């Protein structure tokens, strides 16, 4: 009798699953959870109030967001903005 689920099929499925998990970042073991309150940001203050209808631009980095405009957030990493 022939078994449709042979060793090669199982190995292919396992490899594909491992590749998908790795590419999705689910298997990361770096322990970097951004839930702590001591995040050492250089914002130097509280929220920046921005007028309604103001266009907000960010530069997306792999480690943080960098404010581009308006000038109140320019150059700041992960700026806090107050939305009204």
Digitized pLDDT (tens) for each residue of the chain, 84 residues in all: 556 678 888 888 888 887 777 777 665 555 555 554 454 555 456 777 878 888 888 778 778 888 888 888 888 888 887 776
pLDDT value of residue 77? 86
pLDDT value of residue 75? 86
Q: Which two tokens stand for residue 45?
A: 């203050």
pLDDT value of residue 66? 86
Q: Do residues 59 and 68 lie in contact, with contact meaning Cβ atoms separated by under 8 Å?
A: yes
**CB neighbourhood size of 22 (10 A):** 11
Q: Which two tokens stand for residue 8?
A: 């090669």
Of 73, 23, 27, the residue nearest 51 (C-alpha): 73
d(CA 84, CA 70): 16
d(CA 79, CA 65): 8
């Amino acid at each position: 009798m022939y078994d449709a689920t042979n060793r090669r099929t199982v190995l292919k499925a396992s490899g594909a699953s491992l590749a998908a998990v790795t590419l999705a970042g689910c298997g990361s073991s770096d322990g970097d959870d951004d839930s702590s309150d001591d995040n050492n940001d250089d914002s130097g203050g509280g929220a920046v109030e921005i007028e309604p209808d103001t266009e907000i631009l960010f530069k997306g980095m792999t480690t943080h967001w960098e404010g581009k405009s308006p000038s109140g957030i320019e150059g700041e990493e992960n700026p806090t903005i107050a939305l009204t």
